[in-house]
Amino acid sequence: MIIVMERRFNQSELRYIYESAKGRMDCHPDIAEEYKRMIEQHPFYKSETEVMRAAKDLRIKSKSICQVWAKIGRDEEYFYIQDHYIVSDDIRISIAADYIGMAQILYLES
């Protein structure tokens, strides 16, 4: 059995993720830099279509939990999902993505 959880976010959820991460990173800049570096070095995708294809391929190849994360952006009025997605089956990447305020948009588990 495969469990798929896809997530869409409203403004208050995106604001919470963004502001919570900002608070964490302001309190612990050394940890934040380490996690940012991990995410920057990880391969990324510029569209949902590309990342979903990569998630499917990774899921078939690794047969383990697979997560898709997206960067959150902010303008004058709104928070939004940026065109910067990562997919990973590595718990360290998931911890880093969560810490720096990325939104988990897909979770695949068998």
DSSP notation for 12-52: HHHHHHHHHHHHHHHH-HHHHHHHHHHHHHS--BSSHHHHH
Please give the radius of gyration of the chain, using alpha carbons only, rounded to the nearest integer: 14
pLDDT number for residue 39: 97
Could you read off the pLDDT tens digit of each residue along the chain, which spans 110 residues?
A: 354 556 789 999 999 999 999 999 999 999 999 999 999 999 999 998 899 889 888 888 887 788 999 999 999 889 999 999 999 999 999 999 999 999 999 887 76
pLDDT number for residue 1: 38
What's the domain range around 60? 3-109
Backbone torsions φ then ψ of 5, nearest 5 degrees? -120, 115
Total tally of structural domains belonging to the chain: 1
18's CB contacts (< 8 A; 6+ apart) are 72, 74, 79, 101
Tokens of 18: 């963004």
